[in-house]
Structure formats: structure tokens, C-alpha cells
Structure 1
């Protein structure tokens, strides 16, 4: 940094919208979403821990997904809510910390969704080998690998961001410290950062997307060979929930990071980001569990135990 450049000590997050008449309604809307997300994901974690019959690979991944969503929401939403009620100041250190954990949990969620797709592939296409293929050791390796990939990716983004100088302003036109709006504020070259974005995001989106696509192509082929209409319906029901969540998460996140240029409609970017940072963590407990008879049974049994004890 040269002597005539001023180092930014804090940023101003403008939030989701600047229209005064929308601030209060949106505050209560996203507060409600945050509460539902916390209750849903925490409740699912507790259910899985308390019920031994849910201690299977499928629910092991679901446990990690709920934990990630729980942390994910807590990194993003509280800061967003502040923007609706007052000027939202965030220090440089806090901004970089939020960026790190945001990137970490985004990449980790990609890895977990991929592991869940592979689990469904083995369960439907190779049921006789399921216990061996999805052993406790394999599941642990898959999850640890996901956390390691998330850590390396988040560290790469954060370190590259720390090398930039922000002397062209301190106002971030967003509700969080995301990569594209931060790059727009930099008065130094962002070529390295953009390269890291394409490499890290490419690996964490393209590779999982291809893995999920191949898994579901094979799953669909196996389902179509099932003679029982009830069996096909059950398999389709299980897969459809995951496909919806994957499409929403990967679709909205890839739209942000694979545009030809970091410039463009900021409002459009913020709306797209809301889907995978706010909505997906809230929806996952519903689309993965409330339609699941095992989880409904576990919830019913747990509630009965608490009532009669």
C-alpha cells in the first residue's frame, strides 16, 4: 500500500434494500426465517443424536448438513438483520472473518450434498454392498475431506482478499462480506482473486455437480428397472427432495460466481444470494426430514418420552 492510500478499518453494509417502507417487514420476515432455520436444524440434530435407529450413513450426512446450515445461517443472517434497523458497521477484521466462515460453510455444504447423492446411489444401485461401501470409516473420510476442502478453499479466498487495498470506499452494497462486492471496492489489481474464485469455486461446484449428475443418472436408470410401482414411487420421492435442494443451492451460487464479469446488477446478485444463504438452510430440515417416516417416528417417540417422563 502506498502512502497516499488510506487503509479501511471498517465497512458499511448497505443491506438487502434501501427502501424505508420495506425495512421493517423484511426484518420480521428474515427474523422468522432465521428462527425456523435454527429450530428446524437444531431439532433435527437432537433427533438424530437421541434415536439410535437414525444412526445410519444417510442420517450421519444429514446431521452434518444440519450442523453446517445451523452455523451457516448464524454467520449470515444476524448481520443481515442489523442492516434493516440501523446503519450496519462491520470492522475490517470482522468482515474478513465472516468471509472466511461463509466460504468455508458454502464449500462444505457442496461436499455434503455430493456425499448424500453418492449415498443414495449406493443404497439404490448397489443395496447388497451398502453396508460395506458406506461403512463408518468411509463416511468419516467423506466428511473430514469435505471440511478440509472447505477450510483450504476459504483460506485461499481470505488470504487473497487480505492482500487487497480498499481505498476507493468502504460501503459494501450487500448484506454480507461476499467476494464480488469486496472486489469492486479494491483499488489494487484483483486478477489473482478472480483466478482463485474460478479455481476454488469451479472445483467446489463443477466437480460436485458432475458427481451428483452421474449419481442421479445411474439412480434413475435403476429406478426405471424397478418392477414395483410402489418401490419406484418411494425411490423417486427420496431423490426428488435432494434434487430440488441441490438445484436451488448450486443454481443460485453458480449464477453469482460464474458470470462473465464481476460487474452487473447488484440487486440481482443479492436476491440470488438470498436463496442459498438464507432460504436453503431453512428448507433443508423440511425437504429432507419432515416427509421422512423414520424422522416422523423418531419425533413422535421422542415427544412421547418427554411427555410421560
Structure 2
């Protein structure tokens, strides 16, 4: 498609065409309205968590500070690909520049920072339940700030290597990506040179951050479970499980979709179900996260009610 217009003076591709969701025009309009509605609700839900934590002194604790940062990450993450997807749905060209494609891949791969934040949040729950007497002296605001910086810096730095490797790949045509975003496999499939080594390196880097953080979370919750089962009272066990339920739900939602996308057999096939799974991770996961935390947390609901009372 449009080979002459999409190559630079050196013969390399200067832009890509994202096919997105090829269907009738009326269905595309419905998809645009639906995805726009979900996107706005996602922004509203995650912003409400940030505002609730910022406005309520009761929520100025490590657990909620980590949650607010996680919500901000979700806003950045969903805004890295959904606005361009919405624009391409109603656009005739459906194009994205070469630089924009690489940047979109970089920020869409922020699952590294997401995994680090979920790991740190599980560490916080581990201390609160398994080391309750030492929790105030260990999880100080200083340590919390250091962990937040570690998650943000680690997430951004971890992905510099795959981005650098992909930027060295030559693209000389064709330039049509059968996806709604610039993801790894469909992008490298357009290379005009062998990229098996780059594909393997990027796969190893992605798998490392996914499995290391996931195994760490499993390990912390195994310790939590062993401690909770020793609690004599049923109400005590229920309170402990309730404290971890929201985080476990988010972990299951995030890692379940990520592993289906990148780890499951046939992950290189981006037609049909694979494209749907990617869409679920890109749009639905950030949408459900604030709902899970808001509906299951009394302190969060009280803080949100106070904000609504002030606004109304």
C-alpha cells in the first residue's frame, strides 16, 4: 500500500499502515463510540483514585501511594495506544510515522513497570500481614518513595534494549501492519532482513520481567497464605484475605492477558483471537483496575464520596 509515499530517500519505510479492525463503516463508527466511552471511563476511574489518595490524609499510607502511582501508570499506558487507535478507526489513511510506531511500541510495553509496581504492592501486603509489628519501621515513607522511583526507572530502562534493537531493523516495504498498534511480532514481520536474533533477544527480555515479577508475587502470597491459615479466628482470616483480594484480582487480570499475548503458543498469530486479547489488555485491563479497587475498599469509597460532595 502506497509504497512510494511511505519510503524516505534511502528507500526505507517512513510510516506504517495500521489495519486495525477492517469492517463496514457503520460498524467502525460503533466501535469508535464504544472504545471512546471505555477510554473516558478508564481515565475517570484512575484519576478518581489519584484524587482520592491526594485529598484524604487517611490514605497517605504506602499501600495507597503505590496504588495512586499504579493508577497514573495505567493512564499513561492506555493513552499510549488508544487515542491513535480511535483516530485510525475514523481515518481513511490509518497511518503512523516510523518514529511514532517505535514510541508506541515502547510505551505499550510498559508491562515492565506494571509488573514492578504489582510486585512492590505484594511486598507491602506481605509486610502488613506477615510482619505487622515491624511494618511501620520497615515500610516507611522514605522506603515507599524509593520503591516508587525504582518501579518507574526500572520500567523505562528495562525496555531501552528492545527499543534499541528494533530501531536497527531495516524496513523497506511492505508497510502494512495487521494490528491496531505497533506490537513486536507484527512489526518485525515486515523487516527486509533476518531478525531471528532480535526476536529471540526481545522475547527473552520480555519473558524475564514477566516471569520474575510473577514468580515473586506468587512467592509473597504463598507466605501470606501460610500465615493467614494459622490465624485462629475466622474473622481475622477474612480480614486478611479481604486486604489482598483486590490486588490478587488485578494481578490475575494483568498477568493472565499478558501471558496469553506473549507467552502462549501461537502468540505470533495476530489475527482473530490474538488481536482481541491484545485489545483486552490494552483497554479493558486499565478499565477494570479502578473498579476493582474502588468497589472493594471502604476507605477509598469514603474518600470518593467526600470528593463528590465537594464537587456537587
* TM-score, with structure 2 as normaliser: 0.91
Is 1:165 aligned with 2:150? no
Report the counterpart of residue 99 of structure 1 in structure 2: 105
C-alpha displacement of 1:306: 4.2
Whether the 8 Å CA contact 2:80–2:108 is kept in 1: the answer is yes
Deviates more, 1:47-56 or 1:218-227: 218-227
Q: Does 1:239 align with 2:244?
A: yes
Matches within 5 A, 1:1-309: 6-15=11-20, 17-20=21-24, 22-87=27-92, 88-103=94-109, 105-259=110-264, 263-307=268-312
- Deviation at residue 119 of structure 1 after TM alignment: 0.8
State the aligned residue count.
Answer: 303
Higher helix residue share: 1
Are residues 266 and 273 of structure 1, via their aligned partners in 2, closer, same or farther at CA, if it must alter by over 3 Å? same
- Per-residue CA deviations over 1:119-171 (Å, capped at 9, x if unaligned) read 11111111111112211222222222222221222211211111011124111
* In 1, Cα distance between equivalents of 2:103 and 2:270: 26
| Local SS of the residue matching 1:138 | helix
Contact 1:224 1:232 in 2 (8 A): yes
Cα root mean square deviation, aligned:
2.0
Gaps of 5+ in 2: 1-7
Q: Return the alpha-carbon distance in structure 2 between the equivalents of residues 143 and 239 of structure 1.
A: 20
1:185 alignment partner, SS class = coil
Partners of 1:301 and 1:256 in 2: CA distance: 40
Q: 2-side partners of 1:194 and 1:254: how far apart? A: 17
Gaps of at least 5 residues in structure 1 are none
Secondary structure of the residue aligned to 2:211 is: helix
Once residues 216 and 27 of structure 2 are traced to their aligned partners in structure 1, the CA distance between those partners, rounded to angstroms, is 41
Q: Are the aligned partners of 2:126 and 2:224 in contact in 1 as well (CA < 8 Å)?
A: yes
Task: Write the distance in 1 (CA, Å) between the matches of 2:264 and 2:214.
Answer: 17
1:202 aligned counterpart, secondary structure: helix
**Contact 2:13-2:173 at 8 Å conserved across structures:** no
Task: For residue 261 of structure 1, report the CA deviation from its aligned partner.
Answer: 6.2
Judge conservation of contact 2:17–2:176 (CA < 8 Å) in 1: yes
CA contact (8 A) 2:246 2:296 kept: no
Q: CA deviation at 1:118?
A: 1.0
Matched-pair contact (CA < 8 Å) for 1:160–1:192: no
Separation in 2 of the partners of 1:34 and 1:265?
22
CA distance in 2, matches of 1:4, 1:57: 53
